[in-house]
Amino acid sequence: MDAKSDRADRLRGEAGNPALHPVMTDTAPPTAAEADDGGTEQNASGTPDDEDDVLIDTTVSTGGDGGSTVRSDTVIESRNLEVHYGDEQALKPTTMEIPERRVTAIIGPSGCGKSTFLRCINRMNDLIDGCTVDGELRFRGKNVYDEDVDPVALRRTIGMVFQKPNPFPKSIKDNVAYGLEVQDMDVDVDAAVEKALKRAALWDEVKDQLDSSGLDLSGGQQQRLCIARAIAPDPEVILMDEPASALDPVATSKVEDLIEELSEDYTVVVVTHNMQQAARISDKTAVFLTGGELVEFDDTQTIFENPNDDRVEDYITGKFG
């Protein structure tokens, strides 16, 4: 059985297993007031499944007028997606396609809907009281808000790393192995931990202290440990909410290099306030502006060198934001 079929089997089986549901968050969900500020201290990653394997189709008909077809390299697609926190609209109707195995950056000023959109991808907004989501967010052609989609299993396919490093009060090894164990994955744990730490560019620094607490690591090492924990169960997508904003320049550089390397195997979506960072690491860039409006989404070079919207140029050149 190939890896994608195995992921599909797990999603079906996990939908009805409530014992697995508590493992999806590391801390309490953000409040509505905190919802689009980033800094939510949670990690989630997962492995999906749907009865007809629709989540793993790479080309699907969108139906509707004309029966249009999503390009085969599109892994995530939003269609008129909008979000409210109570009566406040946090995200205006948003439509865009995120390509597979590329780095997509989401930039914009504070409170513009960046983190709100990111959390829609793996339904972390479900954990916020008063949050309502309309429209569609499709992962491999399947609307993740359909009633038959288990959000817990979804988050095992779409991992997440947040702004503030949040290692568990466990050993380095146990931090990385946590997702493997709670999912009861039939793998060589030691080998999987080593592989994840190597992918996170942390193995050489910690291989002789795997039994030491993850809390004893530096901030940059803790963030890479959280990345290792997110990728250990082998998700397809990694969401990062300002993963380097709390780090020093050296640690930030390491995380940026890591993001580029991870895109060889994963689809990476990164929210950042740092426009230079977005220009350095991403293939595609989405620009949200105040009011939760997606103003422009294009190749990163186009966004930074020849944007179509004057507001994007004004934002990038520092006239506001």
* Residue 89 scores a pLDDT above 50: yes
Q: What is the mean pLDDT of residues 265-279?
A: 95
What is the pLDDT averaged over residues 101-130? Answer: 95
Sheet with strand 74-85: strands edge to edge:
88-99, 74-85, 131-139, 142-143
Looking at the chain, the whole-number percentage of residues with pLDDT higher than 90 is 67
**Predicted local confidence at residue 165, as pLDDT:** 92
pLDDT recorded at residue 218: 94
The percentage of residues in the chain with a pLDDT greater than 70, rounded to a whole number, is 77
Gap between the Cα atoms of 294 and 298, Å rounded: 11
**Contacts of the segment 302-305: beta carbons below 8 A, 24+ positions apart:** 304/275, 304/279
For 24-40, write each residue's pLDDT tens digit.
333 334 444 445 554 44
pLDDT exceeds cutoff 60 at 262? yes
pLDDT of residue 49: 38
- Say if strands 158-161 and 237-241 run parallel, antiparallel, or are unpaired: parallel
Domain spanning 3-316: which CATH class is it, in words?
alpha beta
User: Tell me, what's the pLDDT at 13?
Assistant: 44
Query: Residue 258 has what DSSP assignment?
Result: H
Q: Give pTM, 2 decimals.
A: 0.78
